[in-house]
Amino acid sequence: DTLQRHCDMHSLDIKRTYVWICCLCVNQHRVVEMKRKGDFVTFEDLAKTFRSRVTGIGHILAMMAPWFAPTYLERLWCVYEMYMAHLHDCQITIGMPSSERENFVDGFVVKDSSEEGLVTKFFETLSAINVKNAKASVDADRSNILQLIQDGPGYEAFNVIVNQLIRNWAVNLVNDEVKVRTATLEKD
């Protein structure tokens, strides 16, 4: 329902909305299959294709789930995709399934001290963003991407950029939800 919500929020026709799905735009499974057959795709070729697809599409919709430890932030190609989109001034939209969104927003509504842990968990997630801890299914890809990051902005600057993108999204999500809940209260 993340894509449906995105289309609804931006008045987009879901039948005419095209999205980046990494495994379809840069099919890494096909690369693995080619290696089994003895064909070889260099990391440079894969990275070039990846970069051209991200920048060519110009907009990524990153899905954050579960809200307290998004898998997206644990995958190296994913955080690199977000960084590449940022670097090349692509639009970055972050979404999450409705149930995750509700849990995320409800975590900011502390009813008593026993619920304090939900908000704390979110801030722990933000502070734990560290590209060096991200995983890739191919060890060589992980090494190569980390080298690109180290040679480029450096690990710390990279982490700060990704963290800032996530913080901006979180603030916007909470603001949007306040508007929605205020409008609902006004109707009642």
In Å, how far from its chain's centre is CA 71? 9
Residue 181 banded pLDDT, cuts 50, 70, 90: confident
Classify the phi-psi angles of 91: left when phi > 0, otherwise alpha if psi is within -120 to 50, otherwise beta: beta
Task: Give the model confidence (pLDDT) of 115-156 as tens digits.
Answer: 556 667 777 777 788 999 999 988 888 999 999 999 999 999
Task: Give the model confidence (pLDDT) of 69-122 as tens digits.
Answer: 889 999 998 999 999 999 999 999 888 998 988 888 877 666 655 555 666 777
What does the alpha-carbon distance between residue 94 and residue 31 come to, in Å, rounded to a whole number?
27
What does the alpha-carbon distance between residue 168 and residue 131 come to, in Å, rounded to a whole number?
19
pLDDT of 125 reads 77
